[in-house]
Chain A
């Protein structure tokens, strides 16, 4: 490994498919020992990026290193250092949980003594110790994803690449999943994970927010939220639609979203606007239960960033 302390370094990574630039000059670096999130909606370029880093897809131009190996000149070297869990990770549905784990242990050349210890430990962390003899095909969606992770981790990679592993997984299993990932950091594994759940960004050390193949932001979730211009205000009301009508066109509001029990607003200056909004609603005689500043979400940030960049483009 070179002198850098980066597990992954991508410089101007680009991939064009007919009619679409899937990944557009994407640069980012994953530090050793961190969980780094590639976060964005479908079509943002997450899968294409991971496939290039895993050495299974050749980039059009760029240099990227994974665990110190160049993906362009030494894709085979890369493959020995990583574990890559694609969206359609190959579990054998007609094999049991234990048989699947054994199969992957053979594939990765894990020694027998080592594999038993590690399999037991991983299955326990996944809450699956009792399911060793169940057919993989009979597991729930969340369990299948966790088994995929167990198989991908039966050897200890330097870098773990995970493509939307929590897609369709309920919040309870998702928490198990993240617990396993954090436990891996203690073994010196660096993790690059993609997700289309923007709220999952909160669980990563640092994230790259992607949109249409391009990088919007790259930072820690806490720092990202500080960059949102303005304040998010939640107004709870039994009649959100009327509330919105009363607030439409009010000065200082840059976005207004109807939610189930009220509206969410982004305003330029919370301290100034909240009393104004309160007065406005009182004079319009619109009932509301509460009005208060709330922490911004990654989604708020994403929406503002995309609006801004599309505004610039036109």
Chain B
């Protein structure tokens, strides 16, 4: 494989479970060194896609190439080319640091000749030199998580899958973690991130949003925030905010309303032109409006505008 070939290439990938189409003609490409975020509601088909890319589940139709290997034809070979880490289930808490490293080295068949050097690298990277015999369960989350990352890449895979890698981790450790990920990407590792956590999505170069098995949007975090939203966003500060929320659910022009403390976020087709109408609508109903102004959507706003809750449940088997 040349270095210009995509590290992950998925074409018309389909997975059916009986009548249920979990993944519906998904096509995507991730470049070498790209941090690729895969977002979607519970049950959207994210994990099914990842399991196919890891060679753990056979596609119904379509093709997925990982590191130049077809996952349907060479699932074992694919598994040697990837690393996998999830914040929640990666390490054995009742094993010592060194025991966890050796366990994963064995699982990934790391040759003995390079093992000492790799172990050294993990300990260094995780900041665990001198704590090799500490019980993993007693480590603070930041260390545990860097150890999990080290174990996932002991065999130097060109492709790394991360599942909500920094959920619940303190922000300083989280930033350190993403620093490491960006460093690995800089060295050519392709990183596939699945998450519900919009803070994590911000660290990705490119995002794909999947809903009911299909890709509904893709782009950089900035592109998604600038272009992908259906409608525009208004911030409304008013009193009483609870009543206003109820009234606005059925107000003309309002596509969605969400509450943030003492303020509301409204999705409307056009922010500027909607302001006067909404002011009048709320005033007539006894709501005092302190502020109403257009704001930029966050990734969460985009996510919610492009997916739908009811549809999510219909698609869950």
Q: Please give the residue numbers on chain A whose beta carbons come within 8 Å of chain B beta carbons, in ascending order.
A: 35, 40-44, 127, 131, 138-143, 167-173, 175-176, 178-179, 182-183, 185-186, 196-199, 202-205, 211, 220-222, 236, 240-241, 257-262, 289, 299, 302-303, 306-307
Contacts and interface: CB of A to CB of B under 8 A. Distances in A.
A49 B202 CA distance: 31
Given A41-B171, A182-B242, A259-B221, A173 B205 contact: no
A221 B261 contact: yes
Interface residues of B, number: 56
A303 B175 CA distance: 9
B73 interface: no
B12 interface: no
Contact of A178 (B35, B196, B258, B316): B258
B274 interface: no
Given A171-B304, A260-B206, A185 B42 contact: no
Contact of B140 (A35, A43, A179): A43
The residue among A35, A183, A261, A303 with the most chain B CB atoms within 10 A of its own CB is A261
Interface in B204-231: 204-207, 220-223
A196 B168 contact: yes
A143 B130 CA distance: 45
24 contacts: A41-B169, A42-B169, A127-B310, A131-B313, A140-B43, A140-B313, A143-B313, A167-B168, A170-B42, A172-B308, A173-B42, A173-B309, A179-B245, A179-B259, A182-B242, A186-B242, A202-B261, A203-B260, A211-B170, A221-B261, A259-B221, A260-B201, A260-B203, A303-B172
Given A140-B316, A171-B196, A205-B261, A182 B245 contact: yes
Contact of A171 (B178, B198, B203, B206): B198
B90 interface: no
B45 interface: no
A125 B181 CA distance: 40
B167 interface: yes
B307 interface: yes
Contacts of B313: 127, 131, 140, 143
Interface of B: 35, 37, 40-43, 140-141, 164, 167-173, 175, 178-179, 182, 186, 196-199, 201-207, 220-223, 241-242, 245-246, 258-262, 298, 300, 303-304, 307-310, 312-313, 316
Contacts of A40: 170
Given A43-B141, A202-B260, A259-B221, A299 B303 contact: no
Given A141-B42, A202-B260, 15 more contacts: A41-B168, A41-B171, A43-B141, A127-B313, A140-B312, A143-B316, A171-B300, A172-B307, A172-B309, A182-B241, A202-B261, A257-B178, A260-B35, A260-B201, A261-B223
Contacts of B242: 182-183, 185-186
B171 to A, nearest CB: 5
B262 A258 contact: no
Contacts of A35: 261
Contacts of B199: 197-199, 299
Contacts of B40: 170
4 tightest A-B CB contacts, nearest first:
A41-B170, A42-B168, A170-B41, A140-B42
